[in-house]
């Protein structure tokens, strides 16, 4: 990454000088990592590691939480899952979903051209703060979409209203786990994200998936939907180096690994 003299894998979130991917497991790809804390080339900061993800015994802080839906917990039954909601929350959610039902929408899956709409909705809403604003990120994600599609792992879900895409999620189904990798919603359709998220949960029950990974970020809807938080960890070899919550660029000679 020329702008901060660091090394990163793409796609990974490229936002305000930071890059990472979630659920990292690194030792197979980087056999030298056990010596990384003594490396002479500068700072190392690895985020969103799963437990044991470094492959060696090093202290790590909890960095964030990933949020999961486990269909088996509810006997693969959507009605059982909905009982988690309080009466007030369920009434409010049902009303919101019913409103979209009345207005009418349709779903389509794996219409590859919708990926361009996903990027467009993100940039339209977030401008230069969008992850996809960085062409390295968007191009790499396009490569990832192609890889998933060629291997039969792709699940690109689109909600259509008023003859246009209004919500799109790019996901991967692999070994029974459904991972939602990226998404976008039309800013003129507030609340539409709940429609597509409920669709994912319903589909996971119907297809008896093992796990649905909605990734990290403590957004209010994840609490509303009673998703299961699981810790993700962070390893840094310089205690003074902290990128969390900071928009400042990484110091020169630092080395960021995301995988």
Give the residue-averaged pLDDT of 122-138.
88
What gap in Å lies between CA 178 and CA 125, rounded to an integer?
A: 26
Q: How far apart are CA 214 and CA 66, in angstroms?
A: 7
- What's the token pair of residue 195? 């429609």
257 pLDDT band, cuts 50/70/90, is: very low
128-150 per-residue burial string, b: 16 or more CB within 10 A, e: under 16? eebbbbbeebbebbeebbeebee
Range of lowest pLDDT (29-38, 70-79, 122-131, 249-258): 249-258
Distance CA 157, CA 108 (A): 6
Tell me: pLDDT of 22 over 80: no
pLDDT in tens, 51-71: 766 665 666 788 888 999 999
Residue 241 has pLDDT above 60, yes or no: no
Alpha carbons within 13 angstroms on the beta-carbon side of residue 134 total 19
**pLDDT, position 128:** 87
Q: How many CB atoms lie within 10 A of CB 206?
A: 11
Q: Give me the pLDDT at residue 145, please.
A: 96
Hey, what are 104's tokens? 């009418």
> 252 falls in which pLDDT band (50, 70, 90)?
very low
- The model's pLDDT over 185-210, given as tens digits with 9 standing for 90+, comes to 999 999 999 999 999 999 999 999 99
**Residue pLDDT, tens place only, 101-124:** 999 999 999 999 999 999 999 999
Neighbours of 154 (CB within 10 A): 21
Share of residues in the chain with pLDDT > 90 (%): 54
Question: What integer pLDDT is reported at residue 55 of this predicted model?
Answer: 60
Mean pLDDT computed over 128-156: 92
- Please state whether the peptide bond connecting residue 11 to the residue before it is cis, i.e. omega within 30 degrees of 0: yes
212 against 44, higher pLDDT: 212
At residue 242, the pLDDT reads: 43
pLDDT in the model for residue 19? 55
What domains can be seen in the chain, in order of their start residue? 1-64+230-259 (no CATH), 71-209 (3.40.630.30)
CA distance readout (Å), 151 to 51, 112, 116, 145, 174: 28, 14, 21, 10, 10
Cβ proximity of 250 and 4 under 8 Å: yes
What is the reported pLDDT for 251?
A: 30
Q: 146-188: per-residue pLDDT in tens?
A: 999 999 999 999 999 999 999 999 999 999 999 999 999 999 9
Q: Provide mean pLDDT across the span 9-35.
A: 54
């Amino acid at each position: 990454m020329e702008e901060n003299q660091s090394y990163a894998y793409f796609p990974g979130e490229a936002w305000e000088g930071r890059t990472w991917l979630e659920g990292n497991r690194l030792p197979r790809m980087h056999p030298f990592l056990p010596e990384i804390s003594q490396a002479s080339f500068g700072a190392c900061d690895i985020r969103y590691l799963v437990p044991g993800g470094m492959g060696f015994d090093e202290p790590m802080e909890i960095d964030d939480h990933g949020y999961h839906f486990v269909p088996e917990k509810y006997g693969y039954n959507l009605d059982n899952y909905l009982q988690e909601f309080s009466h007030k929350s369920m009434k409010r959610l049902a009303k919101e979903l019913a409103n979209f039902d009345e207005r009418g929408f349709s779903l389509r899956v794996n219409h590859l051209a919708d990926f361009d709409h996903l990027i467009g909705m993100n940039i339209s809403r977030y401008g230069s703060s969008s992850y996809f604003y960085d062409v390295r990120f968007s191009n790499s994600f396009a490569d990832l979409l192609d890889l998933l599609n060629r291997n039969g792992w792709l699940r690109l879900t689109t909600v259509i209203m008023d003859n246009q895409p209004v919500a799109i999620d790019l996901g991967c189904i692999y070994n029974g786990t459904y991972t939602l990798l990226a998404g976008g919603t039309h800013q003129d359709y507030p609340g539409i994200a709940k429609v597509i998220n409920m669709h994912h949960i319903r589909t996971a029950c119907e297809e008896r998936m093992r796990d649905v990974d909605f990734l990290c970020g403590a957004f209010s809807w994840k609490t509303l939907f009673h998703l299961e938080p699981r810790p993700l960890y962070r390893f840094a070899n310089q205690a003074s180096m902290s990128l969390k919550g900071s928009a400042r660029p990484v110091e020169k000679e630092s080395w960021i690994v995301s995988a």
